């Protein structure tokens, strides 16, 4: 799989992510303890503890940040019973932030901002507009907050991922000034502590999501890996039984890949596999599942289809690869082509393993018949001996 900079994330990267997640969990526990202490000072110990525990459980069960938006609104309102606020999340190139959730009365902060418009985001540290103290206001504020305000950045590892903005309520003139300032300071500390907790909690969520993706995807091509393929194939077979509609698979293998790899090198072979993965992904239907089966071999699962349609799709894939990638290696190697085998459940096989073997056997028949062609499985067709299915670009070509 590729990271946001286009670099390949391998086993070492996965191990690093696991270590980072453990550290994030330890930091999250420490941050929660600090929040409990501050909540006691603010006289909201009981409901703050309940809200934090519930929020922690909700975020722990979420797969993405969007899954937890409704819960964030509810729990942030409980954590900030006074005043109003917004939770901003970075978008675009990471230099803009948009309101993800808001609570309380309408806040005096714009719904979107650039980093340059917020002193906290520019400086990477909280900015406090104190009661009774003249301080420069952020450009994203639509009005001067009558009850003070705090901008607290959210840190996800080494980068800023968002902002927690809290605006205090307008206080009556009868409130003692010293008491109001003391209260304002306490809420500033609370806002910063909640922002620290949210940064850690959301960082933990992001790491967990990354690990889930890595567990399902091939690190080089970002296609689904063989482990996920096996799970998906069993699931689609059960669905085919329930709907009484057939499902097909296509086994596709690059022709002369070993020659390509030996002539141009492993890096060139990897680039070809990545380009092929992008080509396959762009050509299939939304419900189809494209997997890297092993080496230069790919399996495509096509739910609710017919033999004619699967064969047609295989022919279209073969033609597209030859047209778009044929000259990928230049004159030093033969044109890039693929051999494909087609099998349909339940016509050619009655279970997942047999279906794969039938498609694989048909693909080998296409190889023996001259390559760059599509063959349909035959009932009872045997499969050739298993080949090296290493997941690197150095595996043997067929």
How do the domains of the chain map onto residue ranges? 11-216, 226-376
Average of per-residue pLDDT across 323-327:
92
Cα–Cα distances in Å, from 120 out to 127, 128, 319?
Answer: 5, 9, 54
HSE at residue 355, side-chain half, CA atoms within 13 A, is 23
Query: What is the pLDDT, as a whole number, of residue 3?
Result: 45
Higher pLDDT, 321 or 130: 321
Listed range (67-71, 260-264, 392-396) with the worst mean pLDDT: 392-396
Query: What is the pLDDT, as a whole number, of residue 261?
Result: 87
Average of per-residue pLDDT across 137-150:
85
4 pLDDT band, cuts 50/70/90, is very low
Question: Which of 62-71, 86-95, 274-283 is the most confident on average?
Answer: 274-283
Query: What is the pLDDT, as a whole number, of residue 12?
Result: 53
340 pLDDT band, cuts 50/70/90, is very high
Average of per-residue pLDDT across 151-164:
85
Rounded CA separation 148/167 (Å): 6
Higher pLDDT, 105 or 158: 105
pLDDT at 1 over 50: no
Query: How many residues are recorded in the chain?
Result: 398
Query: What is the pLDDT, as a whole number, of residue 396?
Result: 40
Average of per-residue pLDDT across 123-151:
81
Rounded CA separation 22/3 (Å): 20
For residue 346, say if its preceding peptide bond is cis, omega within 30 degrees of 0.
yes
Rounded CA separation 137/127 (Å): 9
On average, the pLDDT of the chain sits at 82
6 pLDDT band, cuts 50/70/90, is very low
Cα–Cα distances in Å, from 226 out to 141, 188, 208, 220?
Answer: 51, 50, 21, 13
394 pLDDT band, cuts 50/70/90, is very low
390 pLDDT band, cuts 50/70/90, is very low
Backbone angles phi and psi of 13, in degrees to 5 = -65, -40
Indicate the pTM of the whole model.
0.59
Alpha helix positions (H), the chain: 11-41, 45-61, 69-79, 119-123, 177-216, 226-243, 257-264, 266-283, 307-325, 352-368
pLDDT at 11 over 80: no
Query: What is the pLDDT, as a whole number, of residue 270?
Result: 93
- 11-216 sits in which CATH class? alpha beta
Query: What is the pLDDT, as a whole number, of residue 392?
Result: 38
HSE at residue 294, side-chain half, CA atoms within 13 A, is 13
Average of per-residue pLDDT across 363-376:
95
pLDDT at 389 over 70: no
Average of per-residue pLDDT across 164-181:
74
Domain covering 226-376 in this structure, CATH number: 3.30.70.270
pLDDT at 46 over 80: no
The DSSP bridge partners found for residue 376 are 342
């Amino acid at each position: 799989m590729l990271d946001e900079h286009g670099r390949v994330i391998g086993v070492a990267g996965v191990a690093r992510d696991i270590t980072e997640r453990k550290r994030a969990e330890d930091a999250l526990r420490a941050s929660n303890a600090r929040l409990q202490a501050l909540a006691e000072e603010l006289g909201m110990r009981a409901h703050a503890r309940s809200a934090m525990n519930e929020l922690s459980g909700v975020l722990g069960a979420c797969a993405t940040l969007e899954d937890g938006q409704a819960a964030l609104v509810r729990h942030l309102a409980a954590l900030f019973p006074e005043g109003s606020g917004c939770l901003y999340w970075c978008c675009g190139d990471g230099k803009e932030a948009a309101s993800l959730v808001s609570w309380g009365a309408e806040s005096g902060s714009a719904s979107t901002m650039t980093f340059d418009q917020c002193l906290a985001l520019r400086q990477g540290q909280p900015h406090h507009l104190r009661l009774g103290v003249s301080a420069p206001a952020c450009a994203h504020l639509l009005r001067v907050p009558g009850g003070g305000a705090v901008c607290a950045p959210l840190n996800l590892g080494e980068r800023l991922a968002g902002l927690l903005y809290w605006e205090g309520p307008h206080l009556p003139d009868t409130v003692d000034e010293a008491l109001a300032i003391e209260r304002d300071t306490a809420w500033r500390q609370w806002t910063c502590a909640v922002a620290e907790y949210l940064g850690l909690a959301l960082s933990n969520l992001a790491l967990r999501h990354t690990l889930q993706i890595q567990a399902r995807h091939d690190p080089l091509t970002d296609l689904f890996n063989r482990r996920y393929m096996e799970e998906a194939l069993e699931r689609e077979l059960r669905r085919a039984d329930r709907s009484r509609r057939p499902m097909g698979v296509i086994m596709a293998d690059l022709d002369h890949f070993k020659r390509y790899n030996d002539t141009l090198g492993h890096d060139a072979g990897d680039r070809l596999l990545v380009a092929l993965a992008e080509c396959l992904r762009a050509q299939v239907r939304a419900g189809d599942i494209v997997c890297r089966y092993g080496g230069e071999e790919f399996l495509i699962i096509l739910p609710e289809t017919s033999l004619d349609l699967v064969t047609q799709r295989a022919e279209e894939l073969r033609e597209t690869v030859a047209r778009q990638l044929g000259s990928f290696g230049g004159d030093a190697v033969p044109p890039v082509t693929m051999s494909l085998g087609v099998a349909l459940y339940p016509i050619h096989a009655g279970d997942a393993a047999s279906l794969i073997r039938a498609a694989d056997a048909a693909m080998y028949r296409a190889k023996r018949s001259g390559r760059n062609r599509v063959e349909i499985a035959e009932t009872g067709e045997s499969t050739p001996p298993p080949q090296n299915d290493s997941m690197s670009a150095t595996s043997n070509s067929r």
